[in-house]
Amino acid sequence: MSGSAGPRWLPAVHDCLERVPARVRVLEAGERIERAGLERALDAVRAALREGGGGFGSREEVERAVHDRWELEVRRLSRPALAPVVNATGVVVHTNLGRAPLAPEAIEAAATAGAAYTPLEYDLERGERGSRYDHAAGLLRLLTGAEEALVVNNNAAALLLAVDTLAAGGQVVVSRGELIEIGGGFRVHEIVARGNARLVEVGATNKTHPADYRKAIEEGDVRVILKVHRSNFSQTGFVAEVGLEELCRMGEEHGVPVVFDQGTGLVDTLAAAPGEPTIRAAIEAGAALVCASGDKLLGGPQAGIVCGRAEWIARLRESPLLRAIRVDKMTLAALEATLRVWLCDPEGVPVRAMVGAEPAALERRAKALLARLGPAARERCRIAPHDGRAGGGTLPDVPLPGWAIRVEPDGSAAALESRLRGGDPPIVARVAGEAVWIDVRTLLPGDEERVAARLDALLDSRERTALE
């Protein structure tokens, strides 16, 4: 420990609370947050003192460090953890940044539902208890062509519910080439195992044939044929798989329902990926149930969507597991609003508009952003072609041609990116080739102004040394 510095130099809690620094008091956080922030600050400074003195030379320095940390902790406790960030990466469905930005209609619907009582489980016509699972189902039927639909809290839960209900105690057959891992390390076969079903793997990693499925069905107790859309990776070369339509014919022949984990939530074709399967196409192919996400290419809130035949959806609605994975009223309100936008004006869904943005339009936006910059920043920036991505485990082989601002600071690109990320609001960009890339595809209304102001501040000649 350096000198005589030690925990005894720490000011007492009651002394601090009796004379709260003006910079903490001005935050108007309230007594409980002020006290909690102080306790965190004292713990941090105490740890520094115990680990080697913290470099403090006097009691006054320790007290100043406590006040500095106190202000920081109060700010952290006072501001929302999920405050907005600027996504300048060009990745549209960015899982780490909350996936799909909602349409204005969905935001308004969620806010309205959250601020009021709603008939979530009340039938206004009959004056008696209703079901939350009736909401959004009609719109999903209209969009997908399914006989019935059900909404739960995410796609993994939707698949778990389908397997647990249709195959519990029996077998689920799936191609080895479709045993994918989704975000966060979760794997399809682990989800199936939680559904009280035994997984039967057929085929090889690269090739699976109809005979592989047929043999498993004829020799075992197969209750479900599971087909998983490889939405987050692709296979090329010496490969083969059995198409959904052929699997559905086989399932019909043997009396085994086919569950298709479509995943992406796409309800209409994309010009950028014309071969991407939609929920409607899967229903038309004969799938008994189709599971999908609400917050990927559908562009809605996090939700798990199950569409399919009425008889199977009815069985899902009777499952005790359903209560554990149900959605709340704000999710349902936002999802319903998103579905209406798809029906009326698909380009009004931000994800759809971003994925389908034309390169020429993005070039104009990049030029306009460059023109906003002051002279000092502009000399370090230029517009350049930049491929965006759909993200969120979707369209892995589909680059989205677009444009970005390429920023080449005098100093470190990594340091500039860190400064952008550490501002208010944080700007999350991409570093490549000793430059920082600001992709305009994923900038929301008002973001260009924020980006320009930050770049002007950070690339001004007086600030450049901080980036070196």
* pLDDT at position 53: 62
- State residue 11 phi and psi, 5-degree precision: -70, 155
* pLDDT at position 10: 87
pLDDT digits (tens, 9 = 90+) for 195-209: 788 889 999 989 999
3-state SS record for 349-378: CHHHHHHCCCHHHHHHHHHHHHHHCCHHHH
CA angle 178, 180, 183 (to 5 degrees): 155
Residue with tokens 């909350």: 98
Q: Phi-psi region for residue 27, left (φ > 0), alpha (ψ -120 to 50) or beta?
A: alpha
pLDDT digits (tens, 9 = 90+) for 292-311: 999 999 999 999 999 999 99
Q: Which of 410, 427, 409 has the alpha carbon at shortest distance from 418?
A: 427
Residue with tokens 């306790």: 39
Q: In what order do the strands lie in the sheet with 430-432?
A: 91-93, 381-391, 400-407, 435-439, 430-432
Contacts of residue 149, Cβ cutoff 8 Å, sequence gap at least 6: 136, 137, 140, 141, 305, 306, 307, 308, 313
> Does residue 465 register a pLDDT over 60?
no
Taking residues 412-419, what's their average pLDDT?
94
- Please report the sign of the dihedral spanned by the C-alpha atoms of residue 354, residue 359, residue 360, residue 365: positive
Taking residues 128-152, what's their average pLDDT?
96
Q: Which residues of 165-203 are buried (b: 16+ CB within 10 A; e: fewer)?
A: bbbeebbbbbbebbbbebeeeeebbebbeebebbbbbbb
* pLDDT at position 169: 87
More confident residue, 186 or 171: 171
Taking residues 161-183, what's their average pLDDT?
88
* pLDDT at position 185: 64
Check residue 78 and report its DSSP letter: H
Is 279 in contact with 253 (CB distance < 8 Å)? no
Please give the domain boundaries of the chain with CATH numbers for all domains: 7-78 (no CATH), 86-93+354-467 (3.90.1150.180), 104-348 (3.40.640.10)
Taking residues 345-367, what's their average pLDDT?
96
pLDDT digits (tens, 9 = 90+) for 247-302: 999 999 999 999 999 999 999 888 888 889 999 999 999 999 999 999 999 999 99
* pLDDT at position 3: 47
* pLDDT at position 23: 86
- Could you tell me the pLDDT band of residue 183, with boundaries at 50, 70 and 90? low
* pLDDT at position 2: 43
- Could you tell me the pLDDT band of residue 6, with boundaries at 50, 70 and 90? low
Please give the Cα distance from 148 to 140 (Å, whole number). 8
| Amino acid found at 72 | L
* pLDDT at position 464: 52
pLDDT digits (tens, 9 = 90+) for 16-69: 888 888 888 888 889 899 999 999 999 999 888 887 766 777 888 888 999 999
Q: Which of 165-179, 182-196, 318-332 has the highest mean pLDDT?
A: 318-332
Class of residue 320 by CB neighbours under 10 A (exposed 0-12, middle 13-18, buried 19+): exposed
